[in-house]
Structures are given as structure tokens and as C-alpha cells.
Amino acid sequence: MVEIAPLIESLVRPLLTQQDTLTIKAHETAEYMAFDLSVAPEDVGNVIGRQGRVAQALRSVVYGVRSPYAKRVRLNIVDTRKRH
């Protein structure tokens, strides 16, 4: 079984220009073991990718590994960019 947070970190860190801002917070909901991924506002686009392709690829890998949790795993990308 694979620990999910280090897996997410190893996949996302090469995409970032400001690697020290990467945070992954795990919390449990009624249905999921959720992981909230936060990066610098400048790096959100790199993590999401064009038309969400990078985000979808990240989720495919994370959802496909066998996890130590009894619940399904969910990856949330927290968008910290300011809205106008």
C-alpha cells in the first residue's frame, strides 16, 4: 500500500516554481479521505493544466493506487488566486 500524501507531493513538486508553498492537508469526511492540495497562486495553473488535464492525470494516479484507508480517496486542489 502507498501513503497518499507523499505520493501527491512527489507528483506535484516538479510542476511548481515555488516549491516551499506546497501544503497537503488530509481530513476525513463521511464518504472520503480527502487531501487538500494548496500551492502558490502563480502555480495553480501548472497544477490544473490546460483544460484540467494535469489535474485529471494527478487524480487518476492518486485514485488508482491502493491506499491504506477504508474510504475512497479524494484530491482537492485549493485555488488561492484572488478573484476580481
Looking at residue 84, what is its pLDDT? 65
- Is the pLDDT assigned to residue 9 strictly greater than 90? yes
38: which 3 cell numbers?
A: 494548496
pLDDT (tens digit per residue) in 31-64: 999 999 999 999 999 999 999 999 999 999 999 9
Domain ranges of the chain: 4-78
Element (H, E) at 9: helix 4-12
Which CATH architecture does the domain made up of 4-78 adopt?
2-Layer Sandwich (3.30)
Q: In degrees rounded to 5, what are phi and psi of residue 39?
A: -135, 175
Amino acid, res. 42: E
